[in-house]
Amino acid sequence: MNPRACRICPSLLLGSIFACITLIFCNGALAAPADQPPPSDAEHWRSILEQADSPGHQKAIACKYLAVYGSAQAVDPLARLLSDPQLASWARIALEAMPYEEAGAALRKAAGELEGRELVGVIQSLGVRRDEQAVDLLTRHLAGDDAEAAAAAAVALGQIAAPAALDALEAALNDQRPEVRNAAAEGLIVGAEQQLAIQDRRRATRYYDAVRQADVPATRIAEATRGAILARQAKGLSLLLEQLQQSDEDRFAMALTTARELGGTETAAALSDQLAAQPPHRRAMLLFALADLDDSTVMPRIVKHLADDDSRVQFAAVRAAAALGDEGVVDPLLRLAAGGDKQIAAAALQALEDLPGKAIDEALLERLDKSDATTRQAILRLAGKRRIHATEQLAEAAGDEQAEVRAAALAALGAVVGPAELSILIERVVDPQYAGDAAPAAKALGDAASRMPDQQAAARAVIEAMEGQDLATRTALLEVLGKIGGPTALEALQRAGLAGEPELEDVVTRVLGAWMNADAAPALLQIAQSANEQKYRVRALRGYLRIARQFKLPVDRRIAMAKQAIEHAERTEEKLLALEVLARSPSDEALQVLTTAAEDPDLSQAANEAAKAVREKL
């Protein structure tokens, strides 16, 4: 065998540069793709198999293509490989996929002649093909001396699922060999599933029950029990309950999985009946299952467990209440949300956020004035998350005596106010009732202003509010403008960045450095040239380069930006970043800039590497 490798790219022949299937196979010569026959040339691939001296790797790839394109004429040469330990698996790839009766016949013939792993392989293929003509043959293997073949036959018979196949498997549940019994059980379960699929519940139940009575591993018993419950439908509930009452945790767990599949009000009721008698960890598991069952008739029982002594159960009850509850769970959940267990409180808050409907909104607002500070805070947080449009109540709460409540109210206002109410938040930024409220108010204003339908109008309102304010307020409002975005905000930020005040340079370079489109580039370049402090000039230039690097821009603009950056950079670090931009911009112009840059000793190595990258792309 020649040690050189051949890369075959048949897709090039198919005319698609994307569908390139790379196959690395040994070959006598490094053949160009164009020299290869197309994958669909079944006759070519068949002839490779017919030639006794074709090397193994060629036969292997031939099998792969014949799996897709081979005709019935390819069956005989493929079948001859089934006894070859090295090529049998390749031949099966083709024979198993072929829709022809000839392929089935070849596999059956081989199953009568082969032994060992090759035999197991063809038995598996017969099972995958669901070859009913193989039932007698497989039944013989099931009873044969080769336990591995017998086990494979058992699974294959289950896949075929013909009545005779399943009868044979039922009998094999009494086989002396544990591994064969185990495989027979698996086959029978697979076969029973197929009976269920064709609505023959009686037969399915018979097979599941047969496995349940057999001397097979607990895993098979559990699988059969699941099937037996589902096959019986509503009548399976008693068997389900039997499992739930077992001390064996695996059977309990399987019962819960099965209950979820069975579904229905009766199942939910049966599970909820178990809540009182089970230990805490099982109560929690039952509650999770009830949540998944999505049947609200059991809510009264779930609510009781919101006050369960065991936090595991409480947590599960909260999740169930979130899934199934209505306004009736608002009070118990609010109590938990304000309680001392942080994890339960978080879960309760989440549940209150998830509960759907206006009735929940109303129930929460009703309780706002009547609650303690912790609960008020929770309700306000929920008002924001649920977007309850109750501006008046929220604004009133923003004047609460407790700072945390005020902050929660401001955040909620940020989530709900409309354009006409933006002034409520602006006022609290420029003239806060309490000094500490300015920051949360500014955050809320940013949240609100940035989602206004007319962003320019929102920006103008903020800009107007900046007039005559102290530095701290202007800084906060510039951050808000950053959140709003758009040309009006950008213009104001640019003006502020060029005003010569370091505090403003700081905030503006930060904000523009994260601008979400390329419009900020000119402003950043201007600030990079004129900011008072070098650190802000550097930051501005880096923001400028970020735009060149990350946004989709015409190549010539990208190159122009890199060129400008090199020109104005005060440090080598930024010049190197500009070279990276050029490296990603394959053009002659980029090469020219890089050639010039290479004359700088600090840049020469990076510039040459970038130029190399550009040339490769060109």
- Distance in Å, CB of 468 to another protein, minimum: 28
Selected binder of another protein within 78, 79, 82, 92 (CB under 8 A): 92
Segment interacting with another protein, rule: CB under 8 A, options 425-433, 445-453, 459-467, 535-543 = 445-453
Query: Which span sits near another protein by CB under 8 A: 368-376, 409-417, 574-582, 609-617?
Result: 409-417
Closest by CA position to 477, among listed 498, 509, 508? 508
Q: In this structure, what are the phi and psi dihedrals at residue 8, rounded to the nearest 5 degrees? A: -110, 130
Nearer to another protein, 311 or 534 (CB): 311
Q: How far is the CB of 398 from another protein (least distance, A)?
A: 16
Distances (CA, A) of 590 to 293, 361, 579, 584, 609: 63, 60, 9, 9, 13
Nearest in space to 298 (alpha carbons), one of 327, 277, 267: 267
In the region spanning residues 416 to 435, those forming contacts with another protein, defined by CB under 8 A, are 416
d(CA 96, CA 107): 9
- Residue 447 phi/psi, 5° resolution? -60, -45
Our CB check for another protein shows the closer of 96 and 175 to be: 96
| Interacting positions 347-406 with another protein (CB under 8 A) | 347, 350-351, 353-356, 384-387
Type of residue at 73 = Q
Q: Is 289 in the site for another protein (CB under 8 A)?
A: yes
Q: Binding another protein by CB under 8 A: which of 138, 168, 169, 285?
A: 285
Give the residue with the Cβ less far from another protein, 444 or 591.
444
For another protein, give the closer residue by CB, 118 or 437.
118
Amino acid type, 410:
L
Query: Would you count residue 128 as binding another protein (CB under 8 A)?
Result: yes
34 binds another protein (CB under 8 A): no
| Cα atoms in the 13 Å half-sphere on the side-chain side of 584 | 17
Distance CA 178, CA 170 (A): 14
Please state the closest distance from residue 233 (CB atom) to another protein, in A. Answer: 17
Identified binder of another protein from the candidate list 120, 173, 338, 394, rule CB under 8 A: 120
Part in contact with another protein (CB under 8 A); list of ranges 277-285, 401-409, 501-509, 518-526: 277-285
Query: Looking at 161, 180, 237, 323, which residue binds another protein (CB under 8 A)?
Result: 323
Contacting another protein within 39-68 (CB under 8 A):
39, 56-57, 60-61, 63-65, 67-68
* Size of interface with another protein, in residues (CB under 8 A): 113
Cα-Cα-Cα-Cα torsion 199, 204, 205, 206, nearest 10 degrees, comes to: 140
- If one counts every other C-beta atom within 10 angstroms of the C-beta of residue 610, the result is 27
Asked if 479 touches another protein (CB under 8 A), the answer is: no
Asked whether position 18 contacts another protein by CB under 8 A, the answer is yes
Instruction: Provide the H-helix boundaries in 452-554.
Output: 455-466, 471-484, 486-497, 502-513, 521-530, 534-550
100 conformational bin, left if phi > 0, alpha if psi -120 to 50, beta if neither: beta
Rounded CA separation 170/161 (Å):
12
Measure the CA dihedral 289/291/292/295, to 10°: 110
What residues between 558 and 617 interact with another protein by CB under 8 A?
none
DSSP 290-335: HHHHT-GGGHHHHHHGGG-SSHHHHHHHHHHHHHH--GGGHHHHHH
Strands, E, within 328-446: which ranges?
A: none
In the bound state with another protein, the residue whose beta carbon lies nearer, of 93 and 560, is: 93
For residue 499, what is the DSSP state?
A: S
Can residue 147 be called a binding residue for another protein (CB under 8 A)? no
Q: Which of 48, 49, 79, 98 forms a contact with another protein (CB under 8 A)? A: 98
Whose Cβ is closer to another protein: residue 79's or residue 222's? Answer: 222
Measured CA to CA in angstroms, residue 359 lies from 167, 299, 303, 364 at distances of 59, 17, 18, 9
Q: Judged by CB under 8 A, does residue 219 bind another protein?
A: yes
31 touches another protein (CB under 8 A):
no
212 contacts another protein (rule: CB under 8 A): no
Report, in Å, the least distance between residue 128 CB and another protein.
7
Q: Of these, 75, 106, 137, 155, which contacts another protein (CB under 8 A)?
A: 155
